[in-house]
Amino acid sequence: MDLFYFILSILYGILKFLHINFIPFNWGGYPVGEWIAWAIVGLVEVIIVFALSMLLVVILVYVFRKYMADLQNRIGPNRVGPWGSLQLIADVFKLIQKQDLIPSRADRIAFKLAPYIVFTPVALGFVLIPFGNISILNLMVLNFPYTVLFLIAFMIISPLGEIIGGLSSHNKFSLYGALRSAAQDIGYEVPMMISVISVIILAGSYSANSIVYAQRNIPFIIPEVLGFFVFFFAMIAKQSIPPFDLPESGSELVSGYSTEYSGMRYGIFYMANFGFMALTSFVVATLYLGGWEGPFPFIPGLFWLLIKAAIFMVIFLLSWIALGRVRIDQFLNLGWKYLLPLSIINLLISAGLALTVGGWF
Amino acid sequence: MEDKLIEVNFGPQHPSTHGVLRIKVRLDGEYIVDAYPVIGYLHRNAEKLAEMGYYPKAMIYVDRLDYVASLNGELGYVLSAEKLMDIQVPERAQWIRMMLVELNRVASHLIWFGTHGLDMGMLTPFFYCFRERERILRIFDEVTGSRLLYNYFAIGGVYSDVTPKAIEMIREFTGNFVTKLEEIEGIFKKNYIYVKRTTGVGKLSLEDALSYGVTGPMLRASGKSWDLRKNQPYLFYKDINFDVPTRPEGDVYARFLVRLEEMKQSIKIVEQILTKLPEGDFYNKKYAKPMLIRLKANGESYVPTESPKGEFGIYLVGDGSTMPYRFRIRSPSFANLSATPVMLKGYKIADLTATVSSMDPVFGEVDR
Q: What is the pLDDT of residues B209-244, one digit of tens each?
A: 899 989 989 999 998 888 888 888 888 888 888 889
Q: Taking every pair of C-alpha atoms in chain B, what is the biggest distance, in angstroms?
A: 70
Which whole-number Å values give the CA distances from B130 to A74, B73, B113, in the listed order?
Answer: 11, 21, 10
| Mean pLDDT score, B331-349 | 88
How far A360 CA lies from chain B's nearest CA (Å)?
39
Q: What residue in B sits closest to A334 (Cα-Cα)?
A: B193
Q: What is the pLDDT of residues A54-93, one digit of tens each?
A: 888 888 888 888 888 888 888 888 888 888 888 888 888 8
B353 closest CB neighbour out of A73, A251, A326: A251
Q: Do B117 and A324 touch (CB under 8 A)?
A: yes
Query: In the predicted model, is pLDDT for residue B11 greater than 80?
Result: no
Which residues lie closer than 8 Å to B154 by C-beta, 6 or more apart?
Answer: B56, B59, B78, B283, B290, B291
Please report the number of interchain residue pairs, chain A to chain B, with beta-carbon separation below 8 angstroms. Answer: 76
Q: What is the pLDDT of residues A145-170, one digit of tens each?
A: 888 888 888 888 888 888 898 888 88
pLDDT for the residue A13: 78
Q: What is the pLDDT of residues B139-188, one digit of tens each?
A: 999 998 888 888 888 888 888 888 889 899 999 999 889 898 888 888 88
Please give the radius of gyration of chain A, using alpha carbons only, rounded to the nearest integer.
Answer: 22
| B314-332: b (≥16 Cβ within 10 Å) or e | bbbbbeeeebbeebebbbb
Q: Does B349 touch chain A (CB under 8 A)?
A: yes
Which residues lie closer than 8 Å to B247 by C-beta, 6 or more apart?
Answer: B220, B221, B223, B254, B255, B257, B258
Question: Residues 29-48, chain B: which have Cβ within 8 Å of A?
Answer: 30
Q: What is the pLDDT of residues A246-280, one digit of tens each?
A: 888 777 788 888 888 888 888 888 888 888 888 88
> Contact, A195 vs A343, CB < 8 A?
yes
Q: What residue in A sits closest to B12 (Cα-Cα)?
A: A254
Query: Is the dihedral angle over the CA atoms B276, B281, B286, B287 positive or is it negative?
Result: positive
pLDDT for the residue A29: 72
Q: Do B349 and A73 touch (CB under 8 A)?
A: no
Q: Do A324 and B191 touch (CB under 8 A)?
A: yes
| Residues of chain A contacting B114 with CB distance shorter than 8 Å | none
How far B117 CA lies from chain A's nearest CA (Å)?
8
> Contact, B109 vs B177, CB < 8 A?
no
Q: What residue in A sits closest to B354 (Cα-Cα)?
A: A252
Which residues of chain A form beta strands (DSSP E)?
Answer: 133-134, 137-138
Q: What is the pLDDT of residues A341-350, one digit of tens each?
A: 999 999 998 8
Among A22, A25, A328, A78, residue whose Cα is nearest residue A181:
A328
| Residues of chain B contacting A245 with CB distance shorter than 8 Å | 121
- What are the extents of the domains in chain A? 56-360
Query: In the predicted model, is pLDDT for residue A135 greater than 70?
Result: no
Lowest mean pLDDT among A285-289, A293-297, B161-165: A293-297
CA contacts within 13 A on the Cβ side of B100: 33
Interface probe, candidates A233, A253, A327, chain B, greatest B C-beta count within 10 A: A327
Confidence of residue B291 (pLDDT cuts 50, 70, 90): low
> Contact, A268 vs A275, CB < 8 A?
no
> Cα separation of B33 and B36, whole Å?
10
| Mean pLDDT score, A283-287 | 88
Q: What is the pLDDT of residues B80-107, one digit of tens each?
A: 988 888 888 888 889 999 999 999 999 9
Tell me if ipTM is over 0.95: no
> Cα separation of B364 and B368, whole Å?
5
Query: In the predicted model, is pLDDT for residue B254 greater than 80?
Result: yes
Question: What is the distance, to the nearest Å, from the Cα of residue B143 to the centroid of all Cα atoms in its chain?
Answer: 20
Q: Does B134 touch chain A (CB under 8 A)?
A: no
pLDDT for the residue B1: 52
- Set out the domains of chain B in order of their start, with CATH numbers: 2-367 (1.10.645.10)
Confidence of residue B267 (pLDDT cuts 50, 70, 90): very high
